Structure 1
Amino acid sequence: MTPDTGVVLVFSATAGYRHASIAAGAAALADLAGEHGLRTRHTEDPDDLREGALAACAAVVFLSPTGEVLHDRSRAALRDYVTGGGGFLGVHAATCAEYDWPYYGELLGARFDGHPEIQPADVLVHDRTHPATAHLPATWRRTDEWYNFRAGPAGRGVRVLASADEDSYDGGTMGTTHPLVWCHPAGEGRVFYTALGHLESAYADPEFRRHLGGALQWCAGLAD
């Protein structure tokens, strides 16, 4: 699928907890998209995830949605968009949405399973060849809300780019393998997920912005 326009659809509807960082995240994504000749459309209306509109998108970003926020038509349109070659970027609470839709769990690669209190921790960057992680140090010290997952992503083509060092903070439940950032193919499409991005301040941080911008480039097919 070759995008007809440079639109990035940013979707952030919430039917559960609402992150205060959504507005800052949407603004940061607009800036980052603009750096690459793209523009964003921020929506919380599932009707905007429809076949004709998605076919013209360079990428779709789920920015911390929570709960059941899609209907059957938008689910079908999103599935067809990604499997047909579209790019999908999930940010932070994207793993807290659509628990009743099995395909969405496969698309993201994991489901949220709680978190400890916000605190500093070490992110271990395993793959520094991806545009989202190439600029990062091997150990990236950050303060965030460290998500635990029911299970880590698995399957053909999954690349875990970074993980949490559970020895560096309290409350991790996944042991020595605690993925935080990964990407994988889905049909003909590209999927990227980063568990980072809880705090509003993250979206003003240069390293995190480059992380998010690299993920967006990759999902939009602008970088390998």
Structure 2
Amino acid sequence: MPSLSLAKKTIAAAALIAPLSMSMVSCSSNGDDAAEATSSTTTSASTSTSTSTETSTSTTSSTTTTGSEETSTPEETSTPEPAPAQDKEAAAAVAAAAANLPSPKPAAPVQGGRPATPEEARAIEDLTRRVAWAPTLKGYLGGILDNTCNSVLQANGGREAYDLNQIPDVPMEVIPELQGRKAEVQSVTDIMVEGNTASATVTANSGDQVETGTMRFMKEDGVWKLCD
């Protein structure tokens, strides 16, 4: 399930895969630029030909027009590959990289804490449900980054290491590793608070798998976030 462990692995994987995503975007842009240059050249040639044929015979005009039509055919066959296929490849690479990273050590409950107040419990439960899943990869990563404590982000390169504009905004279900494994939080119990830290026992299912584990949280600027 996309728990804190997978979240930490995923943001690290996103940092690893960012150069690949940027490379794909660059290749796509270069292809578009080349297509635009070809189109511009063809248009210029057609304009020049049209001007010349105005002073020529009707037979020459007909022949030149045919040649112009023939030269436009290669432009249609040199269209770059559609971006969605590239996005799916990058998304699969993110998931594969996350799966291959070592798992962080299990979290331990806070010691000497107190039971959470109803308001604290509601905020922490809402957080765990909010970050468990998102319709798209970009949305999921964005949710993880926005709701992860600063110490975890810094340990993975800092918030500035993640440019979500380079992450493909593809549906989560098109990623092979996540197909049929939508994560849903079933329960958040035993919420204990000690100062600005907290822990909870979280049970969630991902497909036919059900897992229960301890998650840690930290309150930063008045907001509870995932932490370790």
Give the TM-score range, shorter chain. Answer: under 0.3
TM-score (norm 2): 0.20
TM-score (norm 1): 0.21
Higher fraction of helix = 2
Larger radius of gyration: 2
Larger relative CO (CA 8 A, sep 6+): 1 or 2?
Answer: 2
